[in-house]
Amino acid sequence: MSDDINDLVEKIVKYNDSYAMIQLEEKAKPLLKRFSIRFSNYHQKFEYDDFYSIAKIALYKACLKYETKQNNSFLNFAKLFILRDLWKEVSYWNFEKRNIFTHHEENLEEFKESLYQQNDTEEKIILKEYQEQIKEIIAENFNSRNQMILKLYLFKQLTITEISVFLNIKYKSVYSVVMRGQKLIIKFMRKQFL
């Protein structure tokens, strides 16, 4: 099979053979689908078709860079291109399109701001108390890994991507912990103050 794929890659590069590209896409379809589904599930604004198109373009880019004399399989080589381009798209949406992953944070920020509308010293005292209460909620309701994720996100101001890389945890797992954590913290804080 790897010889078939290598032949297709060679036809694509040397002759710009569109039929060979269609055949290669068919052979790589499970890989393209798997990544497109995974990335489209990160956020409701993402669509499977968009990620599938990005993955196909990345597959073509991989063809252009692949050397058939290499010992590694083409699909493993292409996987790196596909993942890199899909992560670039996620990063673009996260940073350029108003940080769509933090749409739930506004509730927490509004709630935090409503707690201290007095003068500066009172604000600092209230903010400190507020942070301590959040730390207690985190300590009582989350395991050590999730506590670390939430503390890095809420108190060290790291992004989900930075936490994912720093702790070597999948982006989706970190995102899920942050979203669930914020909802739980808001729920507990509302019980205390309302």
Contacts of 164 (CB under 8 A, 6+ apart): 170, 171, 173, 174
Kindly state whether residues 76 and 159 are assigned to the same domain.
Answer: no
Q: Name the domain boundary from 74, 100, 126.
A: 100
Sign of the torsion formed by the C-alpha atoms of 21, 24, 29 and 35:
negative
Mean pLDDT for the chain overall: 77
pLDDT value at residue 166: 84
How high is the pLDDT of residue 104? Answer: 46
pLDDT at 89: 80
Q: What is the pLDDT of residue 127?
A: 64
- Which of 100, 129, 161 finishes a domain? 100
The CATH number linked to 68 is 1.10.1740
pLDDT band at 41 (very low <50, low <70, confident <90, very high): confident
Determine the Cα–Cα distance for residues 185 and 115; give it in Å rounded to an integer: 14
pLDDT at 130: 72
**153 & 173 share domain:** yes
189 shares a domain with 109: yes
* Tens of pLDDT, residues 98-149: 444 454 444 445 544 544 444 445 556 656 777 788 888 888 899 999 999 9
CA 49 – CA 46 distance, rounded (Å): 9
- 8 and 96 belong to one structural domain: yes
Do 95 and 172 fall within a single domain? no
Task: Please tell me the total count of domains within the chain.
Answer: 2
Domain that holds residue 63: 2-100
> What pLDDT, on the 0 to 100 scale, is given for residue 43?
64
The residue among 100, 130, 147 that closes a domain is 100
- Least trusted range by pLDDT, from 37-46, 98-107, 164-173: 98-107
Answer yes or no: is pLDDT of 4 > 60: yes
Q: What is the pLDDT of residue 193?
A: 53
Q: Are 160 and 101 in contact (CB under 8 A)?
A: yes
Structure tokens at 124: 């600092």
Residues 88 and 137 in one domain: no
Kindly state whether residues 120 and 92 are assigned to the same domain: no
* Same domain (yes/no): 85, 134: no
Contact between 42 and 175 under an 8 Å Cβ cutoff? The reply is: yes
The mean pLDDT value for 16-38 works out to 89
Calculate the alpha carbon distances from 157 to 72, 125, 185 in Å.
40, 20, 17
Token representation of residue 151? 């503390």
Q: What is the CATH number of the domain that holds 175?
A: 1.10.10
